Amino acid sequence: MMVKKNKVSVICPYCGAGCRFGLIVENGRAAGIDYEPDHPVALGALCPKGNSAVELLNHPERLTFPIRREHNGTTRRITWDEALQFVASKLRQIREDFGADAVGFLASAKVSNEENYLFQKLARLFGSPHVDHCARLCHSPSIVALSRAFGSGAMTNPIPDLENSRCILIIGSNFSENHPVVSRWVLNAKDRGAFIIAVDPRKTPTTEIAHIHLMIRPGTDGILLNAIMAQILREGLANYDFIASRTEGFERLKNKLQQFDIIKAAEQVGVPVEDIVITARKYATSPSSAIIYCMGITQHRHGTDYAASCANLALLCGHIGRSGAGIFPLRGQNNVQGASDMGALAEFLPGYVRTDDVKKRQLVAKLWGCEDLPSSGLSVTEIIGAILDGKIKALFVMGENPIVSDPCSSETEKALSMLDLLVVQDIFMTETANFAHVVLPAAMWAEKSGSYTNTERRVQWSPKALNPPNEAKSDLWIIGNLGKLLGLWDTLPQPEDILREINQVVPFYGGITPERIAKSKEGLIWPCPDEHHPGTPILYSEKFHRENERATFTVPEIDFETPRSFEPFSLITGRVVVHYNSGSITRKLPSLLRYTPKLELTIHPSDAGELGIKDGSTVLVKTVKGTVETVVKVSPSVRQGSVFMPFHFPETNRLTPKDLDPMARIPSFKDAQCQLIRKDK
């Protein structure tokens, strides 16, 4: 029998590194992986998650037909016609009874740009202002703080450029586990003599790379960053030329920093003052320094201020706008940058047009053939509260799992149970899909064509390699047909058509046409305003994106005098290398699950000793939000008084607080505190 075999080059569906690999398809089925060395970021490499692609595509538990769940909980298979008609009529009904703003739309950081663009367009043409996605839970502080400081919220330099840095400050990022391919470039820099500093309350594979590791007390990142800046000022190491010629607002920050007591700060942060001094000197005096940051900075009550402090530090020393010098907020999802660019956010339309900027908003409306569009809506984190208050009656969830990814799962569960309509469009029956009235089976990334924007602003085309199984359909097909039924448009668009519309609506995607990126292995990096533009790997080399082309310093609002204390234990939630976010994918893949099959809480040996807890025993973890049971791992990789739990397992977010950073509306996942209770026989 002839085996029909071919290989299609696709973009990895997992993280924001955006690696490319060859998917081998035999007789229409995923059969293997081919490593393609000519990708600029990955050089053909693929972390364990990427290596699970075949297992993922062929998974037997994939959703392959639409499902209707009755109020008594019974489910039955329905046709696509039935499913879409039901959803459309229910949405119309709710709009009539309660208004379009009683409907929320959760976009996905995993679907293509074309799909997210169409999704937020559907929501807004339908009349709802509530479109948001999981960027809210991770880098919303970066979008807010960096847009304010520089005019744009994205990472400033490409990942391979890290090897050109002479000093790399890694703060709140564990890229060795979460963006593994970044490790190569940081190690290359180190091989060339760069000084590597890691700041993290935990010891991780990433901190092992560093020359010095500042194992800070949880929640003291803001104090540390400002202490570093204060020391730089004190030693006269600031880049005054840069400050004068390219920034504004320095005086206010300078006044605040001059009063900073660095000795006291070192005590509060819990690191030797010498380490702060070394960090300050190395970062400031190196010819080109980079700051890599991630959730350790953003997922706090003051996440936006911490991200703003990172921006301040870079501006203070002029380490931005050239090779080896920049800010690297590593975006998590394969297409979270794209989802943000496409305006799947409550305060933004495509291209970061503010929804409350009436004039600009109406220009977009005109392009879409109408007078106006809704203004700003509620974020992912606020939508749950609005459901509980009875203000939102319906929720359409595309490729998201809020029950596990949102903080305080008990509230999320309560809210979802209250909805008149919950539609979940996904690849597996996730914890959230279990609550849905209608479950729509979606195709996986390799089963549809589209563009995806990685953390470097690199837009890459991922072509369709094989057909989705049975009745699963691409998100584009589903949203496109739903839009038709709702009377919002006449035809079902193809991905290429939508990208062409994006070229018109989003100026910095202007030159990223389907023709150009379909034949490019490395894609195009925005801003790319026209078809002859080569793309912009390094931002701000000449001017910032603010009106007066200067960057601005921002004075953080946090109180530096009193750091938060977490009693009895600070609870830090995070990730491990073989799992991915809510675990809805990776917990189903044996090749990954075998390495980390269950939830484990990591505790310091002294704390374990004091509580009489042994390695491998079970404990109860209690916070104001809930209590869960977990196995314990005793290890000095955490500080005394601090414990760590990965959130890939549903138990973890049952515990986390809902308190939001006021500017970015991100939950303070890393500001939790908990009690540990032994489970005695």
Partner 1 sequence: MQSMASWKIFINPERCIGCHACEMACEQTHGGISNIKVQCAPVFCRHCEVPPCVTACYRNAIEMRNGKILLIKDLCTNCGICVFACPFGAIMTTTITRQIEPGKKAHSAVPCHSEARSAEEPHTEHEKPKRSLADARDDTPRERQIVLVHKCDGCLERAEASGARPACAATCPSGAIECKDIAQASSLKRVRTYEVHLVTHLAHREGTSP
Token pair listed for 45: 């490499």
Shortest Cβ 191–partner 1 spacing (Å): 8
CA-CA distance, 570 to 635, in Å (whole number)? Answer: 15
CA-nearest of 431, 648, 526, 664 to 113 is 526
| 112: amino acid identity, one letter | S
Using the contact rule CB under 8 A, the part of the chain among 100-108, 187-195, 389-397, 647-655 near partner 1 is 187-195
Contact present, 163 and 189 (Cβ < 8 Å): yes
Using the contact rule CB under 8 A, the part of the chain among 29-37, 260-268, 287-295, 310-318 near partner 1 is 29-37
Report the residue number, 205 or 287, with the smaller CB distance to partner 1. 205
CA-nearest of 11, 183, 33 to 111 is 11
Report the residue number, 206 or 432, with the smaller CB distance to partner 1. 206
Phi, psi of 473 (to 5 degrees): -130, 155
Shortest Cβ 639–partner 1 spacing (Å): 21
Report the residue number, 384 or 592, with the smaller CB distance to partner 1. 592
Cα 605–chain centre separation = 32
Q: Is 389 exposed, middle or buried (0-12, 13-18, 19+ CB in 10 A)?
A: exposed
Report the residue number, 37 or 60, with the smaller CB distance to partner 1. 37
Report the residue number, 299 or 596, with the smaller CB distance to partner 1. 596
Report the residue number, 44 or 463, with the smaller CB distance to partner 1. 44
Near partner 1 by CB under 8 A: residue from 595, 597, 606, 610? 595
Question: In whole angstroms, how large is the CA radius of gyration of the chain?
Answer: 24
Beta-strand relationship, 618-623 and 626-634: antiparallel
Check residue 577 for interaction with partner 1 (CB under 8 A): yes
Check residue 534 for interaction with partner 1 (CB under 8 A): no
CA-nearest of 221, 222, 168 to 558 is 222
- In sequence order, what are the residues at sequence separation of 6 or more whose Cβ sits closer than 8 angstroms to the Cβ of residue 540? 150, 156, 320, 321, 551
Contact present, 262 and 235 (Cβ < 8 Å): no
Q: Which helix (H) or strand (E) holds 364?
A: helix 358-367
Shortest Cβ 59–partner 1 spacing (Å): 16
Report the residue number, 18 or 441, with the smaller CB distance to partner 1. 18
Hey, which residues does 24 pair with through a beta bridge?
Answer: 7, 32
Q: Which helix (H) or strand (E) holds 175?
A: helix 175-178
Report the residue number, 106 or 589, with the smaller CB distance to partner 1. 589
Site for partner 1 in 90-129 (CB under 8 A): none
Shortest Cβ 45–partner 1 spacing (Å): 4
CA-nearest of 30, 36, 34 to 54 is 30
Q: How many Cβ atoms sit within 10 Å of the Cβ of residue 43?
A: 15
CA-CA distance, 157 to 141, in Å (whole number)? Answer: 19
Report the residue number, 14 or 150, with the smaller CB distance to partner 1. 14
Using the contact rule CB under 8 A, the part of the chain among 178-186, 216-224, 602-610, 650-658 near partner 1 is 178-186
Contact present, 104 and 383 (Cβ < 8 Å): yes
Shortest Cβ 436–partner 1 spacing (Å): 33
Report the residue number, 205 or 390, with the smaller CB distance to partner 1. 205
Shortest Cβ 48–partner 1 spacing (Å): 5
Near partner 1 by CB under 8 A: residue from 112, 183, 226, 247? 183
Shortest Cβ 51–partner 1 spacing (Å): 4
Going through 357-473 in order, the beta strands assigned E by DSSP cover 394-398, 421-426, 438-441, 450-453, 458-462
Check residue 181 for interaction with partner 1 (CB under 8 A): yes
One character per residue 30-59, x = contact with partner 1 (rule: CB under 8 A): --xxxx-x----xxxxxxx-xxx-x-----
| 385: amino acid identity, one letter | G
Q: Which helix (H) or strand (E) holds 600?
A: strand 600-603
Q: Is 484 exposed, middle or buried (0-12, 13-18, 19+ CB in 10 A)?
A: middle
CA-CA distance, 511 to 513, in Å (whole number)? Answer: 6
Report the residue number, 13 or 218, with the smaller CB distance to partner 1. 13
Site for partner 1 in 428-447 (CB under 8 A): none
Shortest Cβ 56–partner 1 spacing (Å): 12
Near partner 1 by CB under 8 A: residue from 239, 376, 591, 675? 591
Cα 678–chain centre separation = 35
CA-CA distance, 266 to 258, in Å (whole number)? Answer: 16
First to last CA, the chain: 61
Shortest Cβ 308–partner 1 spacing (Å): 30
Report the residue number, 578 or 643, with the smaller CB distance to partner 1. 578
Token pair listed for 84: 């879409």
Report the residue number, 311 or 589, with the smaller CB distance to partner 1. 589
Check residue 578 for interaction with partner 1 (CB under 8 A): yes
Shortest Cβ 578–partner 1 spacing (Å): 7
Contact present, 634 and 614 (Cβ < 8 Å): yes
Check residue 184 for interaction with partner 1 (CB under 8 A): yes
Q: By rule CB under 8 A, what count of residues binds partner 1?
A: 32
Shortest Cβ 521–partner 1 spacing (Å): 16
CA-nearest of 348, 527, 347, 379 to 453 is 527
Check residue 180 for interaction with partner 1 (CB under 8 A): yes
Check residue 574 for interaction with partner 1 (CB under 8 A): no
Shortest Cβ 33–partner 1 spacing (Å): 7
Site for partner 1 in 190-209 (CB under 8 A): 191, 193, 205-206
Shortest Cβ 5–partner 1 spacing (Å): 13
Q: What is the dihedral of CA 402, 407, 410, 411, to 10 degrees?
A: -80
Report the residue number, 39 or 301, with the smaller CB distance to partner 1. 39
User: How is the chain split among helix, strand and coil, in percent rounded to 5?
Assistant: 35, 20, 45
Shortest Cβ 272–partner 1 spacing (Å): 16
Report the residue number, 208 or 356, with the smaller CB distance to partner 1. 208
Near partner 1 by CB under 8 A: residue from 114, 115, 177, 275? 177
Report the residue number, 33 or 83, with the smaller CB distance to partner 1. 33
Residue whose tokens read 């202002």: 129
Using the contact rule CB under 8 A, the part of the chain among 71-79, 184-192, 493-501, 664-672 near partner 1 is 184-192
Residue whose tokens read 């994106």: 545
Shortest Cβ 209–partner 1 spacing (Å): 8
Shortest Cβ 280–partner 1 spacing (Å): 15
Residues near partner 1, by CB under 8 A: 32-35, 37, 42-48, 50-52, 54, 176-177, 180-181, 183-184, 187-188, 191, 193, 205-206, 577-578, 591, 595
